[in-house]
Amino acid sequence: MVLAPNYQNHPTTNTTPLSSPLIFGSSFTVEQSDQNRDLVNPEIYPHLYGDKLFAPLKCIERCVIVNIKDIDTPKVGTVDVNQAWSKDGNPKYAEIKTSIENFGFRLVHPPIALFRNKSGALVKINGRSRNEILTEWEYSNRICDIYEGDWENYNQSQIEDAISKFGQSSNLQGYDPHGTTSAEDLVQNCLHAIEKGWIHKDNNGVPLETGENSVTSRLDDICGDYKLTAKPKELLVARIVAQTDEVLTGKRFWPSVAHVERFIVSGQGGMNFINIKPQYDFVSKKCTSRGIMYVVFETSEVRRSLPTATALAASNPDSDVRVILYKQYIKAYDAPTNFMDTLSSVKNYWDSQLSKYSTVHFNGAKLRKGNCYIYGAVPSLRSLHNLNYLIFLQSDDEWKQK
């Protein structure tokens, strides 16, 4: 059955049920699927039914009954239906399950989406959580939208690409019940797309950051009207490119403070920068051996780093507080200068602030070297440094690897 293109929203009455209570071992009726079709206005969901649906896909049937035995699990060599979630399924699964069990299966939202491949097999491309919940309740059928590929104008790879984006895009478009696509989901989708060749690479094998068939264009496709703002997008693009292959990109992405902390105690190149407690004379209680404390800051935290490290040093007067800097990601343009200028800007900010404190509190007297200072930074660019060694701030204010 091919759906006639009647996209007018049907009026509802007080007698029209908006949901169907779950009944163990039950099934949906044709009447309920018709109600679902009447209640869902396709014009509200152009990303599913209209001009914002990815061009290689087309919705050919809306809100039809499909027996569960007719829904296949994708097999090796068939159409790629890359999962929408990066880890252990939908993070909102429990919330969705509770909502459906308490208020029934709502008929006011678009149904589960299936894709019919060339052999006629139907596979799920959206609504996996709802399908799983209905499976637990042993429902024998589903209300579904059915999509097919525009095989006349697109090849299989292009159609698989569209399917891969479809699930995550749908989760961002705001109908309930659904999950929320996270940054991690977007990263994994793009890495999958790079592997499949849907995101193109330059002559050196590095994924394109901007332009057609790039990481940026894919993120824009998935997010649709819910565009990422500039800073989060820049971060995601840099992270995806860096994670693709550090050997090819020559860039290292530092996801968090924890990753830096593990690196500086890794033992690589003799690194074992662990915190050491101060030692005291048992009788006099005087410090006989100063301690060392390492604290890590991202370079964008320059205004927080100085007072935070100072407070830590004040609370631990018998320990040296050594600050380790890291730059989470390197921008695409002028990378070497960008990296070194960033390290220098943090150091200059510290010098400027300490100079002000000296003028006010010490009447211009020169401060002796205290127990809190910038010690080093982790590397981010292979063109500048060996990525397995720490970079140290020297006494002449230069950054060097030993």
Q: Is the CB of residue 380 less than 8 Å from the CB of residue 337?
A: no
**What is d(CA 347, CA 304) in angstroms, rounded to the nearest whole number?**
13
**What is d(CA 142, CA 127) in angstroms, rounded to the nearest whole number?**
11
Q: What is the DSSP letter of 3?
A: P
User: How does the average pLDDT of the chain come out, rounded?
Assistant: 83
Give the pLDDT of residue 7: 36
Angle formed by the axes of helices 183-196 and 215-223, to 10°? 130
Q: Is the CB of residue 340 less than 8 Å from the CB of residue 250?
A: no
Q: What are phi and psi of 121, to 5 degrees?
A: -70, 145
Q: Which two tokens stand for residue 26?
A: 């039950």
**What is d(CA 327, CA 344) in angstroms, rounded to the nearest whole number?**
12
Q: Is the CB of residue 130 less than 8 Å from the CB of residue 19?
A: no
User: What stretches of 224-273 show up as alpha helix (H) in DSSP?
Assistant: 230-244, 246-249, 257-264
Give the pLDDT of residue 395: 86
Q: Is the pLDDT reported for residue 173 higher than 90? A: no
Identify the bridge partners of residue 24 per DSSP, sorted by sequence position: none
The backbone region for 124, taken as left when phi is positive above 0, alpha when psi lies in -120 to 50, beta otherwise, is beta
Q: Is the CB of residue 290 less than 8 Å from the CB of residue 282?
A: no
Average pLDDT over residues 278-286: 92
- E strands within 138-285? 141-149, 279-280
Give the pLDDT of residue 100: 87
Give the pLDDT of residue 174: 52
Q: Is the pLDDT reported for residue 273 higher than 70? A: yes
Please list, in sequence order, all residues whose beta carbon lies within 8 angstroms of the beta carbon of residue 240, skipping any fewer than 6 positions away. 187, 190, 191, 194, 207, 215
Average pLDDT over residues 199-209: 86
Q: Pick the residue with more confidence: 298 or 83?
A: 298
Identify the bridge partners of residue 374 per DSSP, sorted by sequence position: 323
End-to-end CA distance of the chain: 72
Please list, in sequence order, all residues whose beta carbon lies within 8 angstroms of the beta carbon of residue 339, skipping any fewer than 6 positions away. 327, 330, 380, 381, 384
Q: Is the pLDDT reported for residue 81 higher than 60? A: no
Give the pLDDT of residue 181: 66
High-pLDDT (> 70) share of the chain, %: 83
Q: Is the pLDDT reported for residue 355 higher than 70? A: yes
Q: Which two tokens stand for residue 89?
A: 């399924």
Percentages helix, strand, coil for the chain (3-state, rounded to 5) are 40, 20, 45
**pLDDT class of 6 with cuts at 50, 70, 90:** very low
Of 86-95, 183-192, 239-248, 267-276, highest mean pLDDT: 267-276
Of 291-300, 349-358, 383-392, highest mean pLDDT: 291-300
High-pLDDT (> 90) share of the chain, %: 45
Q: Is the pLDDT reported for residue 178 higher than 60? A: no
- 213-248 per-position pLDDT tens digit: 999 999 999 888 777 788 888 888 888 887 776 666
- 121-171 per-position pLDDT tens digit: 999 998 888 888 999 999 999 999 999 999 999 999 999 999 989 988 887
DSSP assignment of 43-78 equals: GG-HHHHSTTS-TTEEEEEEEEEEEGGGEEPP-TTS
Q: What is the DSSP letter of 143?
A: E
Give the pLDDT of residue 163: 92
- 23-74 per-position pLDDT tens digit: 999 999 999 999 999 999 999 899 999 999 999 999 999 999 999 999 986 5
- 101-111 per-position pLDDT tens digit: 888 898 999 99
Q: Is the CB of residue 383 less than 8 Å from the CB of residue 332?
A: no
Q: Pick the residue with more confidence: 374 or 188?
A: 374
Give the pLDDT of residue 280: 95
**pLDDT class of 360 with cuts at 50, 70, 90:** low
Q: Is the pLDDT reported for residue 96 higher than 60? A: yes
